[in-house]
Amino acid sequence: MKIRDVDVFFREGNKNIITVLSFIVCLIFGCLELLSGNEYSFSVLYMAPVMLSAWYGGWINGSIISAAAALTLLSADLLTGIDYSWGFIPYINAFTRTLLFLAFSTLVYIVKKQLYRETSFANQDFLTKISNSRAFYNYASMEMARLKRYKAPFTLVYFDVDNFKSVNDNYGHNEGDTLLLEIARVIRKHIRPTDVVARLGGDEFAVLLLETNARQAHLTICKLQKILKNSAKIKERKITFSFGVVVFIKSPKSVDDMIKKADEMMYISKHAGKDTANYFVYRH
């Protein structure tokens, strides 16, 4: 099993299950402490369940396991019968260990949040906040692999705004940006949560419809065309769209080939008078 697969397994798992597993690991380490007596210390090993629970379970779960790890170590110290010069020393040790584990847990949680935030920004279009071309390539690659494995068709919708330049020229770039935001909002709202919408650059957008055949794709595009035309902001500027729609029964060689074919269909729509959609079923 690859590291990525392990990460996906834990991310999809229940937080409470992960916390329970981390607690069990702490108990196992506690048993090792008892079996070894006072000659060996396994304190550093407790960092593993603390890190696991904080990363996948959140700060609260990480804090719970931090306390559990410190209490387990305290119990081991008391049960091994170590002769301390003062009776309160093991409790002082437990307190400092708790602080240490909590600090480590908090650090792990902060690093995770920052990493996910940076990853999100790296895959997000700065204006519309939908996926950018980098994220789209990743999603498309995964869908190609899924098609090869499970034979489930998918559809790529590629479209742009007809005469978008005239909007910027006549109303200003702020109005153009507002229009792009409205397009992204409408598309995102009216596709399934599992589908992907991305801005590939300028006024060009792509929608990846998962497990969608030709008939389903046609129904979806008809719906999107109608909704876009009826949007108040889009209707006010008399904006139309040219669509290129490709249903993939067989996987293409690359994502670039996938986009190229959809782009060809879109330009056929352009040359046919714009404000229309052209379809193609990719079978080879």
Taking only the tens place, the pLDDT of each residue in 251-268 is 999 999 999 999 999 999
Q: Hey, what are 258's tokens?
A: 């996938």
Q: Is the pLDDT of residue 280 over 90?
A: yes
Q: For the chain, what is the domain count?
A: 2
Per-residue pLDDT at 7 = 58
Asked whether residue 128 is assigned to any structural domain, the reply reads no
Per-residue pLDDT at 136 = 95
Q: Hey, what are 87's tokens?
A: 């009776």
Band (pLDDT 50/70/90 cuts) for residue 1 is: very low
Band (pLDDT 50/70/90 cuts) for residue 217 is: very high
**Average per-residue pLDDT in the chain?**
88
- Of the two residues 5 and 230, the one the predictor is more confident about is 230
Q: Using CA atoms, how far apart are residues 81 and 101, in angstroms rounded to an integer?
A: 24
Asked whether residue 65 is assigned to any structural domain, the reply reads yes
Average pLDDT for 149-169:
92
* DSSP string over 3-66: HHHHHHHHHHS-HHHHHHHHHHHHHHHHHHHHHHTTS---GGGGHHHHHHHHHHH-HHHHHHHH
- Of the two residues 35 and 214, the one the predictor is more confident about is 214
Q: Is the pLDDT of residue 15 over 90?
A: no
Final residue in a domain of this structure, among 121, 154, 183 = 121
Read off the pLDDT of residues 110-129 as tens digits, 9 standing for 90 and up: 999 888 777 767 889 999 99
The domain spanning residue 159 has which CATH number? 3.30.70.270
- Write the single-letter amino acid at 109: Y
Per-residue pLDDT at 117 = 78
Per-residue pLDDT at 33 = 81
Whether residue 144 is found in the same domain as residue 115 = no
Listed in sequence order, the residues at least 6 apart from 55 whose beta carbon sits closer than 8 Å to its beta carbon are 10, 62, 108, 109, 112
Final residue in a domain of this structure, among 65, 92, 121 = 121
Per-residue pLDDT at 129 = 92
Asked whether residue 107 is assigned to any structural domain, the reply reads yes
Asked whether residue 126 is assigned to any structural domain, the reply reads no
- Domain of residue 261: give its range: 133-282
Strand partners, 198: 131, 206
Whether residue 100 is found in the same domain as residue 221 = no
Read off the pLDDT of residues 36-90 as tens digits, 9 standing for 90 and up: 776 667 788 999 999 989 998 889 999 999 999 999 988 888 887 677 778 788 8
